[in-house]
Amino acid sequence: MMHWESWAAFWQMGGRAGFVWGSYGALALLVLAECAALARRRRRALRRLAALDRAGRPADKPRRQREGPAS
């Protein structure tokens, strides 16, 4: 475990604060972007399911059946 002389030394990270805190900032932005994209995809999927339900087509029914060799 690292021991720092003071809180200021901790925040400066031995002169590498830009890399350390910049990495944390980039990670936070990417996690937020992923959460936003996930929420958007979820809303889109729910809208599609609602439209399929209104159209009377079961959502889990495939559009076409694949015909393969009989086992």
Structure confidence at residue 32 (pLDDT)? 98
Global pTM value:
0.61
* DSSP track, 16-46: THHHHHHHHHHHHHHHHHHHHHHHHHHHHHH
Structure confidence at residue 37 (pLDDT)? 98
Structure confidence at residue 65 (pLDDT)? 61
Convert the pLDDT of each residue in 10-41 to its tens digit. 888 888 889 999 999 999 999 999 999 999 99
